[in-house]
Amino acid sequence: MSIRVILASASPRRRELLALALDEFDILPADIEENLPEGLELTQGPAYLAAQKARFLADQHPDALVIGCDTGVFIDGQMLGKPKDAEQAQSMLEELSGRVHQVITGCCLCLEGREHIFQEETWVEFYPLYKEEIASYIATGEPFDKAGGYGIQGKGALLIRGIQGDYYNVMGLPIARLTREIGRFLLENLD
């Protein structure tokens, strides 16, 4: 049986990673407000937002398998989003310098009114960074469309001492686990 698959994300990185597992899928970014409800544990934010994105498109395409994703960078009990400017990028990178932080990607699968939500966690350690090194990295423009202000798959790799967990999760899509979760979800939900 052939099922239409929709990735509810505009991320070129997620598109590239999903193409490792699926030959055909559509890209339809979910245009939603990305706000977390009061009282939600911050580290549950990626799974919550992934579900909101997937549900938004699943309502419009109930016969398609919709994949929603959201990635957050967490340190000291706060979530670092995408920096709005160079000053904010510098602040984030200074905070990550020489320390370990957590990257969480939430994923939600929706099909015919059923859903499955999971999240993957990876720990990332940065080298201690010099101010000149931070300024040079910010000048590349790379930090501005990435949670936490860095991209592990680009020049941000030069900042990272090591990781514990799924490398692709840090890019925004834990593709190996996602592939397995899709397989289980389809087996459980298709007649």
137, 93 contact by CB (below 8 A): yes
Tell me if residue 63 is catalytic: no
CA distance readout (Å), 30 to 7, 9, 43, 138, 177: 9, 7, 21, 28, 22
Catalytically annotated residue among 26, 70, 76, 191: 70
How many angstroms from the chain centroid is the CA of residue 53? Answer: 12
Phi and psi at residue 19, in whole multiples of 5°? -65, -20
Q: Which two tokens stand for residue 93?
A: 């990178």
* Count helices and strands in the chain by DSSP H and E runs: 6, 7
Q: Enter the DSSP assignment of 158.
A: G
Q: From the CB of residue 100, how many other CB atoms can be counted at a distance below 10 Å?
A: 14
Catalytic residue ranges: 70
